[in-house]
């Protein structure tokens, strides 16, 4: 049996969505995350079972607003979108053909997407805008299905991914974190569509690295489109996906019997003893950073672990860099107090720490 499948055991595989795939690149140094994602573990369920539920949730208001905005952009044969594409990219008036891929049943949608895209490239059929296409992407040997609530469109033989987001652009500026997340997600779709073209024997570079980001402008509901270059995101994503196909090295370092199986019962709820699962998860090394708190379902578990280990990672990259990479809290304080001797290579940071400690004492007494 595939070693990754063994890690997952009897737990059903969690399909990757674009956001999850985009998040793979968030903390590339974390073996725990790479292994669990590679094996398709439901990290959210695991975290809950471990007693550290993830701190994420989406407000129903945000969901409603998102759906309403998407519907507005796509209403009446994508009338708003066509206006923006005509303005932004000079889409010719004749280019209006609209395909609602969701008109076919879910099980047919990927095949239908393939057919439509192939016909468009061969110019056998009018095809400008594709609503709700279904792409696939290979993640560590498993096929992930991606359903962009996005539209792909082509202009002059080139496809663009359109990403519709409901965060506002105000006086030409949007929340940079939100834009970055949208770019990462769009990059996943670009990669998937390029893969599809390659499979069909077409040039993958027909998919532009410039995606069209559609957001509401100012405080009105009126959508506005911006071109976003996602080359960097693509590069990071590719590197991370390649890494995931070469998990062997990480797997070699694991005990043979290690598994993250939740042992779901008949009702789907995990039955695995919590302590046992916790031990297994600890068997794969994590690299906790405060950024995990906004990207990874397991963050509270790993933070708790870092606390118990007294790791300076808890305080963030800046602090760790400032401390010259000395990893444990006890070690740093020992060097500062002079109760611990500097190991080879630590002389300089030890001298700085002793000085810092002396100055703090002098100023605070």
Partner 1 sequence: MSDRLDDLERRIDELRAGVRTAMRARDTATARTLRAELRTAERTWDTLVSGDGPATEHGPPAGNVPEESGQGAPRRARAHGAAARRGDGPRLVTVREQVHQALALLDAPAQARLIVAVSQAFFAGSIRSPQLTSLRRDEERSFRSSPYGRPYYLCAALTDRLSPARGLLTVSTWPAERRVVGPLSPRVDFLTCALRVARHLGGLPGSLPDGDRLLARMARNIPGAGDDAFGPPDPGRVVEAARRELRVHTRRDTRDRAQLAKRATSQLDDVAALFGAATLSTVAKESSTMRGGR
Partner 2 sequence: MSLLTSLARLRALDEGIAQPIATVRHCHVSARPMVFIPLKLSGEAAAPLAAMLGTDRDEPRLLVVPQPRNRDLRFAWAAELAGVLVPYIETFLASTETVARKNADPYERAVDAPQLVLPNRAGVAFTRLLGRSTRFRSLDGPYPVPMGVPLLGRWLTYFAERAAYPGSSLTLCATDELGRHWASGQSALEDANLAALVSWITEGPNDDAEDPLIWPPAGPATDPGFDAEVLAPAIESESAERVTEALRTQLAPTWRLMWRALDLLRGLREGAGVAQRWEQDRASFSGMAAQVTEGGPPQARRDGAIAAAARLARMERAQAAYDVQRAYDDPLIMAEYRLTGEAFAGEVVENDPDNTEGEGRSRKLRPLVVIKTDDPVRLAPGTALGTPERRGQGAQLVSARDGLVTIKITKGMGRAKTPAPGSVPEVGERVCYTSLTDDFQGSPALPDPEATPWTHGGPPQTYVPTDEDAQEEWS
Question: Is residue 176 near partner 2 by the rule CB under 8 A?
Answer: no
Our CB check for partner 1 shows the closer of 49 and 194 to be 49
- Asked if residue 113 binds partner 1 (CB under 8 A), the reply is no
Residue 363's contacts (CB-CB under 8 Å, 6 or more residues apart) are: none
And the tokens for 172? 């030409």
Q: Which one of residues 11, 113, 166, 208 is an interface residue with partner 2 (CB under 8 A)?
A: 166
What tokens were used for 33? 């995350």
**Cα gap 43→277, rounded to integer Å:** 12
Question: In whole angstroms, what is the distance from residue 45 CA to residue 298 CA?
Answer: 9
Q: Which of 10, 12, 126, 227 binds partner 1 (CB under 8 A)?
A: 126
Dist CA 208 CA 185 (whole Å): 15
Q: Pick one of 218, 245, 246, 271: the residue that binds partner 2 (CB under 8 A).
A: 218
* Residue 15 in contact with partner 1, rule: CB under 8 A: yes
Q: 170 is in the binding site of which of partner 2, partner 1, none (Cβ under 5 to 8 A by kind)? A: partner 2
Does the protein bind partner 2 through residue 58 (CB under 8 A)? yes
Is 175 near partner 1 (CB under 8 A)?
no
Are the beta carbons of 22 and 185 closer than 8 angstroms? yes
Q: Which is nearer to partner 2, 271 or 355 (CB)?
A: 355
Residue 238 binds which of partner 1, partner 2, none (CB < 5-8 A, kind-dependent): none
DSSP string, 243-291: HHHTTHHHHHTS-TT------B-TTS-B-S-HHHHHHHHHTS-----GG
Stretch binding partner 2 (CB under 8 A), from 1-9, 87-95, 251-259, 322-330: 322-330
Which CB sits closer to partner 1, 76 or 256? 76
Contact residue for partner 1 among 26, 97, 314, 342 (CB under 8 A): 97
Task: Choose which of 10, 29, 106, 351 interacts with partner 1 (CB under 8 A).
Answer: 106
Residue 345 near partner 1 by CB under 8 A? no
In this complex, which beta carbon is closest to partner 2, that of residue 149 or of residue 322? 322
Stretch that binds partner 1, among 34-42, 97-105, 284-292, 306-314 (CB under 8 A): 97-105
Q: Kind and range of the H or E element at 100? A: strand 98-100
* Cα 162 from Cα 153, distance rounded (Å): 7
Q: Which residues pair with 152 in a beta bridge?
A: 130, 161
Sheet containing 210-216: order of strands: 98-100, 129-131, 151-155, 158-164, 210-216, 223-229
Closest CB to partner 1 among residues 106, 170: 106
**To which H or E segment does residue 121 belong?**
helix 106-121
**Binding partner of residue 103 among partner 2, partner 1, none, CB under 5 to 8 Å per kind?**
partner 1
Contact 261, 10 (CB under 8 A): yes
Distance between CA atoms of residues 109 and 147, nearest Å: 10
Q: Using CB distances below 5 to 8 A depending on partner kind, what does residue 99 bind out of partner 2, partner 1, none?
A: partner 1
d(CA 48, CA 73): 37
Residues that bind partner 1 (CB under 8 A): 15-20, 48, 53, 57-58, 66, 70-71, 75-80, 82-83, 86, 93-94, 96-100, 102-107, 109, 125-127, 134, 145-150, 164-166, 185, 189
């Amino acid at each position: 049996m595939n070693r990754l499948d063994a890690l997952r055991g009897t737990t059903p595989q969690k399909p990757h969505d674009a956001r999850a795939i985009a998040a793979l690149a968030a903390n590339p140094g974390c073996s725990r995350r790479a292994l669990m994602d590679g094996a398709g573990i439901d990290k959210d369920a695991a975290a809950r079972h471990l007693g550290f539920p993830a701190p994420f949730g989406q407000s129903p208001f945000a969901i409603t607003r998102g759906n309403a905005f998407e519907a507005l952009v796509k209403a009446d044969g994508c009338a708003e979108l066509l206006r923006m594409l005509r303005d932004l990219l000079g889409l010719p008036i004749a280019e209006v053909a609209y395909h609602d891929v969701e008109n076919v049943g879910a099980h047919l949608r990927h095949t239908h997407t393939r057919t439509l895209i192939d016909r468009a490239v061969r110019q056998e059929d009018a095809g400008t805008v594709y609503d709700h296409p279904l792409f696939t992407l290979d993640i560590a040997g498993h096929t992930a299905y991606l359903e962009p609530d996005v539209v792909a469109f082509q202009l002059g033989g080139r496809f663009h991914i359109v990403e519709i987001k409901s965060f506002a652009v105000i006086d030409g500026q949007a929340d940079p974190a939100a834009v970055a997340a949208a770019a990462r997600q769009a990059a996943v779709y670009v990669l998937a569509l390029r893969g599809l073209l390659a499979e069909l024997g077409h040039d993958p570079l027909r998919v532009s690295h410039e995606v069209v980001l559609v957001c509401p402008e100012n405080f009105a509901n009126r959508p506005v489109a911006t071109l976003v270059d996602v080359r960097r995101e693509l590069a990071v994503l590719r590197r991370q996906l390649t890494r995931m196909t070469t998990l062997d090295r990480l797997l070699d370092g694991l005990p043979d019997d290690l598994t993250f199986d939740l042992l779901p019962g008949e009702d789907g709820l995990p039955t695995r003893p919590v302590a046992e699962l916790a031990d297994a998860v600890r068997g794969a090394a994590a690299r906790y950073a405060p950024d995990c708190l906004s990207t990874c379902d397991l963050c509270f578990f790993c933070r708790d672990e870092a606390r118990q280990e007294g790791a300076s990672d808890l305080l963030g990259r800046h602090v760790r860099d400032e401390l010259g990479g000395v990893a444990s809290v006890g070690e740093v304080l020992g060097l500062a107090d002079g109760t611990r001797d500097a190991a080879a290579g630590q002389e300089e940071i030890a001298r700085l720490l002793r000085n810092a400690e002396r100055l703090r004492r002098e100023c605070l007494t």
